[in-house]
Amino acid sequence: MTDRLDNPALGILLICLGVLAISVNDLLIKWLSGGYPLHQMVFTRSAIGLFFTFGFVFWEGGLRLLRSKTPGIHALRGLLVVVANMTFYAAVAVLPLGQATALFFVAPLFITLLSIPILGEKVGPLRLGAVIVGFLGVLVMQQPWKSDTEVSRIVMLLPVAAALFYALMQVLTRKLGATTAASAMAIYTQGTFLLVSTGFFLIAGDGRFAEGVSNESLIFLLRAWTWPTPEDWPVFIGLGLCSGIVGYCLSSAYRLANAAIIAPFEYIGLPMAIFWGWTIFGEWPETATWIGCALIIGAGIFVFLREQARDRPLPGRRSRWGRR
């Protein structure tokens, strides 16, 4: 069991696959955001994703894996990821995909900070300095010194809030990793998405709360449900497939390796988002976004390299990956 939960190479591979699926998922949601409410996409994506995720459950050992001694932590983890998703996608409907993703990618820095009190991991002054540089990158992208902005500053802060909720969720994933299979955690997450989106449908599914609302993020959250057109069904199915891949890969990655080691690899989603925004939606980041991206990515790479240096085995000593 110890070896299985101490495999940073496999954790890095899984985080990269998961981030690729997240990038495609973000692209598809932004593509559909003009005609469907977010909670409808979440419900459909989770219902389809649940089907694929049960396949992972049977592959890892069967339904017995769903038994848990920590249901409260699973419920909290599920709610955190739901809030993170809802908050982020409310911003994606308004902000350029690359900018929203860049702001969200402060999450690995939050993870590094949260791993100190929650997981008891040691983070030295150099890595803390890198975290500060990363947050300066967020400040550059927010541009608080500008008095006129095309988008509300509250909307611009939504991806940062989503990053905090997401970081809390992933740190809890690491805490659960020794006793809970990745596929089981993915099932709990998908189930939470279904429950929350169903609640949204029962309360706001007819679109009555969207009447008279001008804020595009709120309209995206509160718009009435619409039956998908035939050409949109493949997109919804793609969302479900991505959801299953994301749930399993990210849960597995944070079970297999130290959170501070693999978190910086989530940054590969940033160039992916910029590419999709440019090729699909004609969005090209502003100079401030590029500078902020450079600071955030640079901070993340430094944190990772610092981890590599600390964990490099010395002659006659065993590697201590993930055991600081």
Instruction: Answer yes or no: is pLDDT of 143 > 80.
Output: no
Average pLDDT of the residues of the chain: 81
- The pLDDT confidence band at residue 301, using thresholds 50, 70 and 90, is confident
Provide the pLDDT for residue 5: 62
Cβ-Cβ contacts under 8 Å for 312 (sequence gap 6 or more): 319
Q: Running DSSP on this structure, what letter comes out for residue 217?
A: H
Provide the pLDDT for residue 54: 85
**What number of other Cβ atoms are within 10 A of residue 230's Cβ?**
6
Q: Select the more confidently predicted residue: 300 or 297.
A: 297
Provide the pLDDT for residue 235: 93
Provide the pLDDT for residue 34: 86
Q: Domain segments of the chain: what residues?
A: 8-311
Prediction pTM value: 0.78
Distance CA 91, CA 155 (A): 6
- The pLDDT confidence band at residue 2, using thresholds 50, 70 and 90, is very low
Q: 230-245 pLDDT, tens per residue?
A: 999 999 999 988 887 8
How big is the chain, counted in residues? 324
Burial class (CB within 10 angstroms; exposed 0-12, middle 13-18, buried 19+) of 290: middle
Helix (H) or strand (E) holding 297: helix 287-311
Provide the pLDDT for residue 255: 76
Provide the pLDDT for residue 148: 65
- The pLDDT confidence band at residue 259, using thresholds 50, 70 and 90, is low
- Separation in Å, CA 271 to CA 91, 134, 181, 185, 291: 18, 16, 31, 28, 14
Q: Running DSSP on this structure, what letter comes out for residue 3?
A: T
Q: Select the more confidently predicted residue: 24 or 288.
A: 24
Structure tokens at 175: 């805490």
Instruction: Quote the percentage of the chain above a pLDDT of 90.
Output: 22
- The pLDDT confidence band at residue 313, using thresholds 50, 70 and 90, is very low
Q: Running DSSP on this structure, what letter comes out for residue 209?
A: G
Instruction: Answer yes or no: is pLDDT of 318 > 60.
Output: no
Q: 36-66 pLDDT, tens per residue?
A: 999 999 998 888 888 878 887 887 777 877 7
Provide the pLDDT for residue 149: 67
**Residue among 118, 162, 115, 156 at smallest CA distance from 139:** 156
Average pLDDT over every residue of 190-209: 90
Average pLDDT over every residue of 79-106: 89
Q: Highest mean pLDDT: which of 11-25, 101-115, 163-177, 293-307?
A: 11-25
> Which residue bears the tokens 């090209």?
284
Structure tokens at 252: 């597995």
- Separation in Å, CA 190 to CA 47, 77, 194: 8, 11, 6
